[in-house]
A and B are shown apart, each in its own frame.
Chain A
Amino acid sequence: MAILKTENLTRRFGGLVAVNNLSFEIPEGKITGLIGPNGSGKSTTINLISGVLPASSGNVEYMGKRITGYAPHMVARMGISRTYQQIRLFEKMTVLENVYVARNLMYKSNLADVLIGSKRLSSEDKANEKKAMELLELVGLADKADELPKNLPYGYRRFLEIARALATEPKLLLLDEPAAGMNRDEFMEVMDLVRRLRAMDISVLLVEHTMEFVEAVVDHVVVLNFGQKLAEGTFAQIEKDPQVIEAYLGKEEL
Protein backbone atom coordinates (compact mmCIF):
# COMPACT_ATOMS: atom_id res chain seq x y z
CA MET A 1 0.00 0.00 0.00
CA ALA A 2 1.48 3.35 -1.05
CA ILE A 3 1.22 6.30 1.33
CA LEU A 4 2.28 8.73 -1.41
CA LYS A 5 2.23 8.53 -5.16
CA THR A 6 3.50 10.98 -7.77
CA GLU A 7 2.14 10.93 -11.29
CA ASN A 8 4.08 12.50 -14.17
CA LEU A 9 5.40 15.13 -11.77
CA THR A 10 7.30 17.81 -13.70
CA ARG A 11 9.08 21.00 -12.70
CA ARG A 12 10.78 23.38 -15.08
CA PHE A 13 13.07 26.27 -14.20
CA GLY A 14 13.18 28.38 -17.35
CA GLY A 15 14.54 26.02 -19.99
CA LEU A 16 15.82 23.50 -17.48
CA VAL A 17 13.67 20.52 -16.54
CA ALA A 18 14.64 19.64 -12.97
CA VAL A 19 12.04 16.92 -12.52
CA ASN A 20 10.69 15.26 -15.64
CA ASN A 21 7.55 13.14 -15.76
CA LEU A 22 8.39 11.46 -12.50
CA SER A 23 6.04 8.73 -11.26
CA PHE A 24 6.91 6.73 -8.19
CA GLU A 25 5.40 5.41 -4.98
CA ILE A 26 6.40 5.57 -1.35
CA PRO A 27 5.19 2.40 0.40
CA GLU A 28 3.57 2.86 3.80
CA GLY A 29 5.60 2.07 6.90
CA LYS A 30 8.80 1.63 4.91
CA ILE A 31 11.95 3.64 4.33
CA THR A 32 12.33 4.62 0.71
CA GLY A 33 15.67 5.91 -0.53
CA LEU A 34 15.78 8.56 -3.23
CA ILE A 35 19.23 8.62 -4.78
CA GLY A 36 20.92 9.91 -7.89
CA PRO A 37 23.89 11.97 -9.01
CA ASN A 38 24.12 15.67 -8.14
CA GLY A 39 21.49 17.77 -9.87
CA SER A 40 19.30 14.79 -10.65
CA GLY A 41 16.26 16.44 -9.05
CA LYS A 42 16.12 14.84 -5.59
CA SER A 43 15.75 18.04 -3.56
CA THR A 44 13.35 19.45 -6.14
CA THR A 45 11.20 16.33 -5.71
CA ILE A 46 11.06 16.93 -1.94
CA ASN A 47 10.21 20.60 -2.55
CA LEU A 48 7.39 19.58 -4.89
CA ILE A 49 5.91 17.04 -2.47
CA SER A 50 6.08 19.39 0.52
CA GLY A 51 4.46 22.20 -1.48
CA VAL A 52 7.43 24.57 -1.20
CA LEU A 53 7.62 24.65 -5.01
CA PRO A 54 4.56 24.47 -7.24
CA ALA A 55 4.67 21.72 -9.86
CA SER A 56 4.73 22.72 -13.52
CA SER A 57 2.52 19.71 -14.26
CA GLY A 58 1.65 16.32 -12.84
CA ASN A 59 0.17 15.18 -9.55
CA VAL A 60 1.01 14.26 -5.99
CA GLU A 61 -1.41 11.89 -4.31
CA TYR A 62 -1.24 11.33 -0.57
CA MET A 63 -3.32 8.57 1.05
CA GLY A 64 -5.60 8.57 -1.99
CA LYS A 65 -6.04 12.35 -1.95
CA ARG A 66 -4.66 14.79 -4.51
CA ILE A 67 -2.51 17.33 -2.70
CA THR A 68 -0.92 19.09 -5.70
CA GLY A 69 -1.00 22.85 -5.21
CA TYR A 70 -1.61 22.68 -1.45
CA ALA A 71 0.18 25.36 0.61
CA PRO A 72 3.12 23.89 2.57
CA HIS A 73 1.37 24.31 5.93
CA MET A 74 -1.61 22.36 4.60
CA VAL A 75 0.71 19.59 3.42
CA ALA A 76 2.20 19.55 6.93
CA ARG A 77 -1.27 19.40 8.46
CA MET A 78 -2.10 16.41 6.24
CA GLY A 79 0.81 14.57 7.86
CA ILE A 80 3.85 15.17 5.66
CA SER A 81 6.87 16.74 7.32
CA ARG A 82 10.35 17.52 6.09
CA THR A 83 13.88 18.67 6.82
CA TYR A 84 16.13 20.78 4.61
CA GLN A 85 19.46 20.08 2.96
CA GLN A 86 20.64 23.47 4.23
CA ILE A 87 19.46 23.37 7.85
CA ARG A 88 16.74 25.92 8.54
CA LEU A 89 16.10 26.61 12.20
CA PHE A 90 14.44 29.46 14.06
CA GLU A 91 17.70 31.00 15.16
CA LYS A 92 16.40 33.50 17.70
CA MET A 93 14.19 30.97 19.46
CA THR A 94 15.39 28.43 22.01
CA VAL A 95 15.94 24.78 21.14
CA LEU A 96 12.74 23.86 22.97
CA GLU A 97 10.75 26.61 21.27
CA ASN A 98 11.95 25.41 17.88
CA VAL A 99 10.12 22.13 18.49
CA TYR A 100 7.30 23.58 20.60
CA VAL A 101 6.28 25.98 17.80
CA ALA A 102 5.84 23.10 15.37
CA ARG A 103 3.03 21.91 17.71
CA ASN A 104 1.02 25.02 16.79
CA LEU A 105 -1.14 23.03 14.39
CA MET A 106 -2.39 20.93 17.31
CA TYR A 107 -3.98 23.90 19.09
CA LYS A 108 -7.74 24.22 19.30
CA SER A 109 -7.55 27.40 21.39
CA ASN A 110 -8.39 30.58 19.53
CA LEU A 111 -7.51 34.25 19.96
CA ALA A 112 -10.15 34.64 22.68
CA ASP A 113 -8.59 31.80 24.69
CA VAL A 114 -5.24 33.54 24.36
CA LEU A 115 -6.57 36.89 25.56
CA ILE A 116 -8.47 35.57 28.58
CA GLY A 117 -5.83 32.94 29.30
CA SER A 118 -8.35 30.08 29.30
CA LYS A 119 -7.97 26.66 30.91
CA ARG A 120 -8.10 25.05 27.51
CA LEU A 121 -5.05 27.07 26.43
CA SER A 122 -3.01 26.27 29.50
CA SER A 123 -3.75 22.55 29.29
CA GLU A 124 -2.87 22.55 25.59
CA ASP A 125 0.33 24.46 26.35
CA LYS A 126 1.27 21.96 28.99
CA ALA A 127 0.63 18.96 26.77
CA ASN A 128 2.46 20.41 23.78
CA GLU A 129 5.45 21.57 25.76
CA LYS A 130 5.69 18.08 27.26
CA LYS A 131 5.52 16.51 23.80
CA ALA A 132 8.21 18.90 22.53
CA MET A 133 10.42 17.93 25.47
CA GLU A 134 9.88 14.23 24.72
CA LEU A 135 10.99 14.78 21.15
CA LEU A 136 14.12 16.57 22.37
CA GLU A 137 14.79 13.55 24.55
CA LEU A 138 14.30 11.26 21.56
CA VAL A 139 17.04 13.06 19.63
CA GLY A 140 19.20 13.57 22.73
CA LEU A 141 18.85 17.32 23.10
CA ALA A 142 16.79 17.56 26.30
CA ASP A 143 19.64 19.09 28.30
CA LYS A 144 20.06 21.83 25.65
CA ALA A 145 16.39 22.92 25.75
CA ASP A 146 17.06 26.53 26.76
CA GLU A 147 20.04 27.12 24.48
CA LEU A 148 19.89 29.02 21.21
CA PRO A 149 20.40 26.76 18.15
CA LYS A 150 23.58 28.61 17.17
CA ASN A 151 25.24 27.21 20.30
CA LEU A 152 24.70 23.62 19.16
CA PRO A 153 27.33 21.59 17.32
CA TYR A 154 26.51 21.13 13.63
CA GLY A 155 25.25 17.57 13.93
CA TYR A 156 22.89 18.47 16.75
CA ARG A 157 21.39 21.23 14.67
CA ARG A 158 20.26 18.51 12.29
CA PHE A 159 18.83 16.45 15.14
CA LEU A 160 16.92 19.52 16.25
CA GLU A 161 15.52 19.97 12.78
CA ILE A 162 14.40 16.33 12.74
CA ALA A 163 12.77 16.77 16.16
CA ARG A 164 10.91 19.79 14.83
CA ALA A 165 9.77 17.80 11.81
CA LEU A 166 8.48 15.05 14.09
CA ALA A 167 6.56 17.55 16.23
CA THR A 168 3.80 17.84 13.63
CA GLU A 169 3.24 14.07 14.10
CA PRO A 170 3.85 13.17 10.47
CA LYS A 171 2.88 9.91 8.82
CA LEU A 172 5.43 10.63 6.12
CA LEU A 173 8.78 12.26 6.76
CA LEU A 174 10.93 13.66 3.96
CA LEU A 175 14.59 13.77 4.97
CA ASP A 176 16.90 15.74 2.69
CA GLU A 177 20.44 14.50 3.29
CA PRO A 178 20.16 14.14 7.07
CA ALA A 179 23.77 12.98 7.46
CA ALA A 180 25.43 15.72 5.39
CA GLY A 181 28.35 17.29 7.20
CA MET A 182 28.17 14.94 10.20
CA ASN A 183 31.09 13.32 11.92
CA ARG A 184 31.27 9.56 12.40
CA ASP A 185 29.52 9.44 15.78
CA GLU A 186 26.72 11.72 14.68
CA PHE A 187 26.40 9.69 11.49
CA MET A 188 25.83 6.48 13.46
CA GLU A 189 23.33 8.26 15.68
CA VAL A 190 21.28 9.66 12.83
CA MET A 191 21.21 6.25 11.14
CA ASP A 192 19.94 4.75 14.35
CA LEU A 193 17.32 7.48 14.64
CA VAL A 194 16.02 6.83 11.12
CA ARG A 195 15.70 3.13 11.91
CA ARG A 196 13.71 3.98 15.04
CA LEU A 197 11.31 6.08 12.95
CA ARG A 198 10.19 2.97 11.10
CA ALA A 199 9.36 1.37 14.43
CA MET A 200 7.28 4.47 15.21
CA ASP A 201 5.19 3.74 12.10
CA ILE A 202 6.47 6.72 10.18
CA SER A 203 7.10 6.26 6.47
CA VAL A 204 10.30 7.92 5.34
CA LEU A 205 11.58 9.29 2.05
CA LEU A 206 15.33 9.55 2.43
CA VAL A 207 17.51 11.57 0.10
CA GLU A 208 21.08 10.61 0.85
CA HIS A 209 24.48 10.59 -0.79
CA THR A 210 26.24 8.21 1.54
CA MET A 211 25.58 4.74 0.19
CA GLU A 212 26.54 3.16 3.49
CA PHE A 213 23.56 4.95 5.05
CA VAL A 214 21.18 4.01 2.24
CA GLU A 215 22.24 0.39 2.25
CA ALA A 216 21.84 0.11 5.99
CA VAL A 217 18.37 1.55 6.38
CA VAL A 218 16.25 1.51 3.23
CA ASP A 219 13.66 -1.04 2.21
CA HIS A 220 13.30 0.27 -1.29
CA VAL A 221 15.26 2.61 -3.55
CA VAL A 222 14.28 4.97 -6.37
CA VAL A 223 17.12 6.21 -8.57
CA LEU A 224 16.85 9.53 -10.37
CA ASN A 225 18.94 10.79 -13.25
CA PHE A 226 18.34 14.09 -15.08
CA GLY A 227 15.02 14.47 -13.29
CA GLN A 228 13.72 11.12 -14.49
CA LYS A 229 13.31 7.78 -12.78
CA LEU A 230 16.19 5.59 -13.86
CA ALA A 231 15.56 2.48 -11.78
CA GLU A 232 13.67 1.19 -8.77
CA GLY A 233 13.99 -1.82 -6.47
CA THR A 234 15.78 -3.12 -3.40
CA PHE A 235 19.26 -1.83 -2.74
CA ALA A 236 20.78 -5.13 -3.86
CA GLN A 237 18.94 -4.96 -7.18
CA ILE A 238 19.87 -1.34 -7.76
CA GLU A 239 23.49 -1.92 -6.95
CA LYS A 240 23.80 -4.35 -9.87
CA ASP A 241 21.76 -2.35 -12.35
CA PRO A 242 24.11 -1.48 -15.25
CA GLN A 243 22.16 1.73 -16.00
CA VAL A 244 22.61 2.95 -12.45
CA ILE A 245 26.30 2.11 -12.46
CA GLU A 246 26.71 4.04 -15.69
CA ALA A 247 24.86 7.09 -14.33
CA TYR A 248 27.15 7.19 -11.33
CA LEU A 249 30.33 6.23 -13.18
CA GLY A 250 33.05 8.79 -12.79
CA LYS A 251 30.80 10.93 -10.65
CA GLU A 252 30.47 9.13 -7.38
CA GLU A 253 31.25 5.67 -6.18
CA LEU A 254 28.36 3.42 -5.47
Chain B
Amino acid sequence: MNRKSVIMLVILAAFLAIPLVDSNQYHIYMLDRALLNAMIASGLVALTGLAGQMSLGHAAFYGIGAYASAIVTKTFGVPVIVGVISAAVLCLVIGMLLSIPSFKLSGFYLSLVTISFGNIVWTVIVNWYSLTGGSLGLLGIQPIRIAGRAITRTEFFYLAAAVLALIYFVTTRMARSYIGRGLRAVRDDEMAAETAGIDTKRLKLLVFSLSAIYAGIAGALYAHLSTFLSPESFVQAESANFVAMSVVGGIRHMLGGTIGGLAVTMIPEMLRVKGWEIYYLMGSSLAILVLVIMLPNGLAPSFEKFIDRLAGIDRKSGKRQVK
Protein backbone atom coordinates (compact mmCIF):
# COMPACT_ATOMS: atom_id res chain seq x y z
CA MET B 1 0.00 0.00 0.00
CA ASN B 2 1.42 3.38 -0.99
CA ARG B 3 1.66 6.43 1.21
CA LYS B 4 -1.21 8.19 -0.50
CA SER B 5 -3.65 5.38 0.28
CA VAL B 6 -2.45 5.39 3.88
CA ILE B 7 -3.11 9.12 4.19
CA MET B 8 -6.53 8.74 2.57
CA LEU B 9 -7.38 5.92 4.99
CA VAL B 10 -6.27 8.01 7.96
CA ILE B 11 -8.49 10.90 6.83
CA LEU B 12 -11.39 8.49 6.29
CA ALA B 13 -10.89 6.94 9.72
CA ALA B 14 -10.75 10.38 11.34
CA PHE B 15 -13.99 11.33 9.62
CA LEU B 16 -15.70 8.11 10.67
CA ALA B 17 -14.57 8.69 14.26
CA ILE B 18 -16.31 12.07 14.55
CA PRO B 19 -19.58 10.72 16.03
CA LEU B 20 -17.55 8.76 18.59
CA VAL B 21 -15.80 11.91 19.78
CA ASP B 22 -18.53 14.51 19.38
CA SER B 23 -21.70 13.41 21.12
CA ASN B 24 -23.72 16.54 20.26
CA GLN B 25 -26.86 15.02 18.68
CA TYR B 26 -27.48 18.06 16.47
CA HIS B 27 -23.97 17.83 15.00
CA ILE B 28 -24.44 14.15 14.27
CA TYR B 29 -27.82 14.84 12.68
CA MET B 30 -26.20 17.44 10.39
CA LEU B 31 -23.49 14.94 9.47
CA ASP B 32 -26.21 12.42 8.62
CA ARG B 33 -27.84 15.01 6.37
CA ALA B 34 -24.47 15.87 4.84
CA LEU B 35 -23.93 12.23 3.87
CA LEU B 36 -27.37 12.09 2.25
CA ASN B 37 -26.60 15.29 0.34
CA ALA B 38 -23.29 13.80 -0.73
CA MET B 39 -25.17 10.88 -2.33
CA ILE B 40 -27.24 13.27 -4.45
CA ALA B 41 -24.23 15.41 -5.34
CA SER B 42 -22.35 12.25 -6.40
CA GLY B 43 -25.15 11.48 -8.83
CA LEU B 44 -24.89 15.01 -10.22
CA VAL B 45 -21.14 14.62 -10.64
CA ALA B 46 -21.84 11.59 -12.84
CA LEU B 47 -24.66 13.35 -14.66
CA THR B 48 -22.96 16.68 -15.28
CA GLY B 49 -19.24 16.17 -14.86
CA LEU B 50 -19.10 12.87 -16.67
CA ALA B 51 -21.96 13.06 -19.18
CA GLY B 52 -22.38 16.83 -19.58
CA GLN B 53 -26.11 16.81 -18.82
CA MET B 54 -27.61 19.37 -16.49
CA SER B 55 -30.35 18.97 -13.91
CA LEU B 56 -31.74 21.71 -11.74
CA GLY B 57 -34.59 19.50 -10.59
CA HIS B 58 -33.02 16.77 -8.49
CA ALA B 59 -34.83 17.84 -5.35
CA ALA B 60 -37.81 16.23 -7.10
CA PHE B 61 -36.15 12.81 -7.00
CA TYR B 62 -35.12 13.41 -3.41
CA GLY B 63 -38.78 14.16 -2.67
CA ILE B 64 -40.19 11.31 -4.72
CA GLY B 65 -37.85 8.89 -2.96
CA ALA B 66 -38.74 10.26 0.47
CA TYR B 67 -42.51 10.22 -0.01
CA ALA B 68 -42.48 6.88 -1.85
CA SER B 69 -40.63 5.08 0.93
CA ALA B 70 -42.63 6.81 3.67
CA ILE B 71 -45.99 6.03 2.06
CA VAL B 72 -45.13 2.44 1.12
CA THR B 73 -43.90 1.58 4.63
CA LYS B 74 -46.82 3.42 6.27
CA THR B 75 -49.54 1.93 4.08
CA PHE B 76 -48.35 -1.66 3.85
CA GLY B 77 -46.41 -1.94 7.07
CA VAL B 78 -43.45 -3.42 5.16
CA PRO B 79 -39.88 -3.09 6.44
CA VAL B 80 -37.91 0.05 5.62
CA ILE B 81 -35.67 -1.78 3.16
CA VAL B 82 -38.71 -2.54 0.97
CA GLY B 83 -39.60 1.14 1.09
CA VAL B 84 -36.10 2.17 0.04
CA ILE B 85 -36.11 -0.31 -2.84
CA SER B 86 -39.49 0.86 -4.09
CA ALA B 87 -38.26 4.46 -3.88
CA ALA B 88 -35.23 3.52 -5.99
CA VAL B 89 -37.38 1.72 -8.57
CA LEU B 90 -39.83 4.62 -8.85
CA CYS B 91 -36.97 7.09 -9.28
CA LEU B 92 -35.42 4.83 -11.91
CA VAL B 93 -38.62 4.94 -13.95
CA ILE B 94 -39.13 8.70 -13.58
CA GLY B 95 -35.44 9.34 -14.23
CA MET B 96 -35.77 7.45 -17.50
CA LEU B 97 -38.73 9.62 -18.44
CA LEU B 98 -36.81 12.80 -17.58
CA SER B 99 -33.95 11.70 -19.83
CA ILE B 100 -36.25 11.87 -22.87
CA PRO B 101 -36.09 15.68 -23.21
CA SER B 102 -32.31 15.39 -23.05
CA PHE B 103 -32.36 13.51 -26.36
CA LYS B 104 -33.31 16.76 -28.02
CA LEU B 105 -32.28 19.52 -25.65
CA SER B 106 -29.07 20.42 -23.92
CA GLY B 107 -27.49 23.18 -21.89
CA PHE B 108 -29.80 25.91 -20.68
CA TYR B 109 -32.87 24.51 -22.36
CA LEU B 110 -32.44 21.21 -20.57
CA SER B 111 -31.89 23.01 -17.27
CA LEU B 112 -35.19 24.87 -17.77
CA VAL B 113 -37.02 21.59 -18.43
CA THR B 114 -35.57 20.09 -15.25
CA ILE B 115 -36.56 23.21 -13.27
CA SER B 116 -40.10 22.80 -14.58
CA PHE B 117 -40.05 19.13 -13.66
CA GLY B 118 -38.91 19.94 -10.13
CA ASN B 119 -41.62 22.55 -9.68
CA ILE B 120 -44.35 20.32 -11.07
CA VAL B 121 -43.38 17.49 -8.70
CA TRP B 122 -43.35 19.98 -5.82
CA THR B 123 -46.82 21.27 -6.78
CA VAL B 124 -48.08 17.68 -6.83
CA ILE B 125 -46.60 16.98 -3.37
CA VAL B 126 -48.22 20.12 -1.92
CA ASN B 127 -51.63 19.51 -3.47
CA TRP B 128 -52.12 15.74 -3.19
CA TYR B 129 -53.34 15.96 0.40
CA SER B 130 -54.76 12.44 0.67
CA LEU B 131 -51.40 10.90 -0.20
CA THR B 132 -48.75 13.32 1.03
CA GLY B 133 -50.53 15.34 3.70
CA GLY B 134 -49.91 18.44 1.60
CA SER B 135 -48.25 21.39 3.24
CA LEU B 136 -49.08 20.00 6.70
CA GLY B 137 -46.57 17.27 6.06
CA LEU B 138 -46.47 13.56 6.65
CA LEU B 139 -46.07 12.39 10.23
CA GLY B 140 -45.30 9.11 11.95
CA ILE B 141 -42.96 7.57 9.40
CA GLN B 142 -41.32 4.47 10.84
CA PRO B 143 -37.65 4.79 11.74
CA ILE B 144 -35.07 2.24 10.68
CA ARG B 145 -34.98 -0.52 13.31
CA ILE B 146 -32.26 -2.86 14.43
CA ALA B 147 -33.07 -5.57 16.96
CA GLY B 148 -36.49 -4.07 17.57
CA ARG B 149 -35.38 -0.58 18.56
CA ALA B 150 -35.08 2.58 16.47
CA ILE B 151 -31.65 3.30 15.07
CA THR B 152 -29.62 6.07 16.75
CA ARG B 153 -28.25 9.02 14.81
CA THR B 154 -24.75 7.66 15.19
CA GLU B 155 -25.77 4.30 13.78
CA PHE B 156 -27.53 6.10 10.94
CA PHE B 157 -24.25 7.90 10.26
CA TYR B 158 -22.47 4.60 9.67
CA LEU B 159 -25.36 3.24 7.60
CA ALA B 160 -25.35 6.35 5.38
CA ALA B 161 -21.55 6.24 5.12
CA ALA B 162 -21.79 2.63 3.93
CA VAL B 163 -24.44 3.53 1.34
CA LEU B 164 -22.33 6.48 0.16
CA ALA B 165 -19.32 4.18 -0.11
CA LEU B 166 -21.38 1.83 -2.27
CA ILE B 167 -22.46 4.75 -4.46
CA TYR B 168 -18.86 5.89 -4.76
CA PHE B 169 -17.80 2.38 -5.73
CA VAL B 170 -20.52 2.00 -8.39
CA THR B 171 -19.88 5.47 -9.86
CA THR B 172 -16.13 5.01 -9.95
CA ARG B 173 -16.32 1.56 -11.53
CA MET B 174 -18.64 2.92 -14.17
CA ALA B 175 -16.61 6.08 -14.78
CA ARG B 176 -13.40 4.15 -15.37
CA SER B 177 -14.98 1.60 -17.69
CA TYR B 178 -15.88 1.83 -21.35
CA ILE B 179 -19.24 3.23 -20.21
CA GLY B 180 -17.47 6.16 -18.56
CA ARG B 181 -15.45 6.77 -21.70
CA GLY B 182 -18.68 6.76 -23.68
CA LEU B 183 -20.27 9.26 -21.28
CA ARG B 184 -17.31 11.59 -21.56
CA ALA B 185 -17.49 11.36 -25.34
CA VAL B 186 -21.18 12.36 -25.14
CA ARG B 187 -20.16 15.31 -22.98
CA ASP B 188 -17.39 16.46 -25.32
CA ASP B 189 -19.17 16.03 -28.66
CA GLU B 190 -22.47 14.28 -28.92
CA MET B 191 -22.62 14.06 -32.67
CA ALA B 192 -19.10 12.73 -33.02
CA ALA B 193 -19.91 10.16 -30.32
CA GLU B 194 -22.97 8.98 -32.27
CA THR B 195 -21.07 8.57 -35.51
CA ALA B 196 -18.34 6.71 -33.62
CA GLY B 197 -20.95 4.05 -32.89
CA ILE B 198 -21.94 5.17 -29.40
CA ASP B 199 -25.62 4.94 -28.53
CA THR B 200 -25.82 8.34 -26.87
CA LYS B 201 -29.52 8.08 -25.97
CA ARG B 202 -28.93 4.88 -24.08
CA LEU B 203 -26.04 6.39 -22.15
CA LYS B 204 -28.10 9.45 -21.23
CA LEU B 205 -30.91 7.17 -20.10
CA LEU B 206 -28.42 5.28 -17.95
CA VAL B 207 -26.84 8.30 -16.31
CA PHE B 208 -30.14 10.11 -15.69
CA SER B 209 -31.61 7.00 -14.07
CA LEU B 210 -28.50 6.43 -12.01
CA SER B 211 -28.46 9.95 -10.62
CA ALA B 212 -32.22 9.72 -10.00
CA ILE B 213 -31.75 6.45 -8.07
CA TYR B 214 -29.02 8.01 -5.90
CA ALA B 215 -31.29 10.95 -5.05
CA GLY B 216 -34.22 8.60 -4.47
CA ILE B 217 -32.24 6.43 -2.04
CA ALA B 218 -31.04 9.54 -0.20
CA GLY B 219 -34.64 10.76 0.01
CA ALA B 220 -35.90 7.44 1.32
CA LEU B 221 -33.21 7.35 4.00
CA TYR B 222 -34.02 10.94 4.91
CA ALA B 223 -37.70 10.06 5.40
CA HIS B 224 -36.80 7.36 7.91
CA LEU B 225 -34.18 9.52 9.61
CA SER B 226 -36.47 12.46 10.30
CA THR B 227 -39.74 10.42 10.49
CA PHE B 228 -41.50 13.59 9.32
CA LEU B 229 -41.73 15.02 5.80
CA SER B 230 -42.74 18.47 4.68
CA PRO B 231 -42.75 19.82 1.10
CA GLU B 232 -40.40 22.59 2.26
CA SER B 233 -37.48 20.16 2.09
CA PHE B 234 -37.95 19.67 -1.65
CA VAL B 235 -38.29 23.20 -3.04
CA GLN B 236 -36.47 24.46 -6.12
CA ALA B 237 -33.75 26.08 -4.01
CA GLU B 238 -32.75 22.61 -2.79
CA SER B 239 -32.14 21.47 -6.37
CA ALA B 240 -29.87 24.44 -6.87
CA ASN B 241 -28.14 23.61 -3.62
CA PHE B 242 -27.41 20.05 -4.78
CA VAL B 243 -25.83 21.34 -7.97
CA ALA B 244 -23.85 23.86 -5.91
CA MET B 245 -22.53 20.93 -3.85
CA SER B 246 -21.33 19.09 -6.93
CA VAL B 247 -19.68 22.21 -8.33
CA VAL B 248 -18.08 23.29 -5.06
CA GLY B 249 -16.82 19.73 -4.52
CA GLY B 250 -15.53 19.38 -8.06
CA ILE B 251 -17.80 18.43 -10.92
CA ARG B 252 -15.10 16.48 -12.76
CA HIS B 253 -13.68 14.61 -9.81
CA MET B 254 -14.88 11.31 -8.41
CA LEU B 255 -14.69 12.66 -4.86
CA GLY B 256 -16.42 15.89 -5.85
CA GLY B 257 -19.89 14.83 -4.75
CA THR B 258 -18.72 13.60 -1.37
CA ILE B 259 -16.52 16.59 -0.58
CA GLY B 260 -19.06 19.09 -1.92
CA GLY B 261 -21.97 17.47 -0.10
CA LEU B 262 -20.11 17.63 3.19
CA ALA B 263 -18.70 21.12 2.67
CA VAL B 264 -21.87 22.83 1.48
CA THR B 265 -23.95 21.23 4.23
CA MET B 266 -21.49 22.11 6.96
CA ILE B 267 -20.46 25.65 5.85
CA PRO B 268 -23.78 27.27 6.89
CA GLU B 269 -23.66 25.38 10.20
CA MET B 270 -20.23 26.77 10.95
CA LEU B 271 -21.47 30.28 10.22
CA ARG B 272 -24.42 29.89 12.59
CA VAL B 273 -22.86 32.02 15.31
CA LYS B 274 -24.99 33.09 18.28
CA GLY B 275 -26.39 36.59 17.87
CA TRP B 276 -25.55 36.64 14.14
CA GLU B 277 -28.27 34.24 12.95
CA ILE B 278 -29.75 36.81 10.59
CA TYR B 279 -26.48 36.93 8.65
CA TYR B 280 -25.72 33.26 8.37
CA LEU B 281 -27.70 32.49 5.19
CA MET B 282 -26.27 35.60 3.58
CA GLY B 283 -22.78 34.57 4.64
CA SER B 284 -23.06 30.98 3.49
CA SER B 285 -24.44 31.87 0.05
CA LEU B 286 -21.64 34.40 -0.30
CA ALA B 287 -19.09 31.77 0.74
CA ILE B 288 -20.36 29.34 -1.91
CA LEU B 289 -20.48 32.11 -4.51
CA VAL B 290 -16.86 33.01 -3.79
CA LEU B 291 -15.81 29.34 -3.88
CA VAL B 292 -17.41 28.83 -7.29
CA ILE B 293 -15.80 31.97 -8.69
CA MET B 294 -12.35 31.47 -7.21
CA LEU B 295 -12.20 27.70 -7.58
CA PRO B 296 -14.28 26.64 -10.59
CA ASN B 297 -12.70 23.17 -10.53
CA GLY B 298 -13.91 22.65 -7.00
CA LEU B 299 -12.37 21.56 -3.72
CA ALA B 300 -11.61 17.94 -4.65
CA PRO B 301 -8.69 18.62 -7.02
CA SER B 302 -7.11 20.95 -4.44
CA PHE B 303 -7.74 18.35 -1.75
CA GLU B 304 -6.03 15.72 -3.87
CA LYS B 305 -3.08 18.00 -4.59
CA PHE B 306 -2.74 18.55 -0.87
CA ILE B 307 -2.74 14.80 -0.17
CA ASP B 308 -0.23 14.25 -2.95
CA ARG B 309 2.07 16.80 -1.40
CA LEU B 310 1.74 15.10 1.98
CA ALA B 311 2.56 11.78 0.37
CA GLY B 312 5.45 13.32 -1.54
CA ILE B 313 4.01 12.38 -4.92
CA ASP B 314 4.65 14.81 -7.71
CA ARG B 315 1.44 15.98 -9.31
CA LYS B 316 1.68 14.28 -12.66
CA SER B 317 1.83 10.68 -11.47
CA GLY B 318 -1.20 11.02 -9.20
CA LYS B 319 -3.64 10.46 -12.04
CA ARG B 320 -6.93 9.73 -10.42
CA GLN B 321 -8.75 12.65 -11.82
CA VAL B 322 -11.36 11.99 -14.47
CA LYS B 323 -10.38 14.32 -17.24
Contacts and interface: CB of A to CB of B under 8 A. Distances in A.
- Chains A and B touch each other in the complex, with CB atoms below 8 Å apart: yes
A167 B187 contact: no
Contact of A104 (B170, B178, B189, B195): B178
A115 B173 contact: yes
Given A114-B173, A121-B177, A125-B178, A104 B197 contact: yes
A117 B194 CA distance: 26
B55 to A, nearest CB: 20
Nearest to B319: A146
Contacts of A73: 194-200
Nearest to B192: A88
Given A92-B184, A104-B181, A167 B196 contact: yes
A97 interface: yes
A224 interface: no
A22 B200 CA distance: 30
A92 B185 CA distance: 9
A100 B181 contact: yes
A77 B206 CA distance: 20
Contacts of A114: 173-174, 177-179
Interface stretch (A4-12, A105-113, A226-234): A105-113
Contacts of A97: 181, 184
Contacts of B170: 115
Interface string A56-69: 00000000000000
Interface string A23-56: 0000000000000000000000000001110000
A145 interface: no
B132 to A, nearest CB: 33
Contacts of A89: 188-189, 192
Given A52-B191, A90-B184, A111 B197 contact: no
Nearest to A98: B185
B196 A102 contact: yes
Nearest to A90: B188
B196 A117 contact: no
Nearest to A114: B177
Q: Is the interface of B mostly helix, strand, loop or mixed?
A: helix
B298 interface: no
Interface in A151-175: 164-165, 167-168
Interface string B134-159: 00000000000000000000000000
A115 B187 CA distance: 22
Nearest to A115: B173
Residue of A101, A102, A167 with highest tally of chain B CB at under 10 A: A101
A85 B170 CA distance: 38
B188 A76 contact: no
Residue of B182, B185, B199 with highest tally of chain A CB at under 10 A: B185
B274 interface: no
A151 to B, nearest CB: 13
B323 interface: yes
Contact of A92 (B174, B188, B206): B188
Contacts of A82: 195
Residue of B178, B195, B201 with highest tally of chain A CB at under 10 A: B195
A140 to B, nearest CB: 20
A91 B191 CA distance: 13
A93 B174 contact: no
B106 to A, nearest CB: 15
Interface in B103-162: none
A211 interface: no
Contact of B179 (A51, A76, A111): A111
Nearest to B52: A92
Contacts of A21: none
Residue of B191, B192, B200, B323 with highest tally of chain A CB at under 10 A: B192
Interface in B194-251: 194-201, 206
A248 interface: no
Given A94-B323, A109-B178, A101 B185 contact: yes
Given A73-B200, A104-B198, A117 B192 contact: no
Contacts of A100: 181
B48 to A, nearest CB: 13
B29 to A, nearest CB: 32
A90 B185 contact: yes
26 contacts: A52-B191, A71-B194, A72-B195, A73-B197, A73-B199, A81-B196, A88-B192, A89-B192, A90-B185, A91-B189, A97-B184, A101-B181, A101-B184, A101-B196, A101-B198, A102-B196, A104-B196, A105-B197, A111-B174, A111-B206, A115-B174, A125-B177, A128-B178, A148-B323, A164-B196, A168-B197
8 closest residue pairs by CB, A with B: A76-B197, A105-B197, A90-B188, A72-B194, A88-B192, A102-B196, A101-B181, A114-B177
Interface of A: 50-52, 71-73, 75-77, 81-82, 84, 88-94, 97, 100-105, 107, 109, 111, 114-115, 117, 121, 124-125, 128, 148, 164-165, 167-168
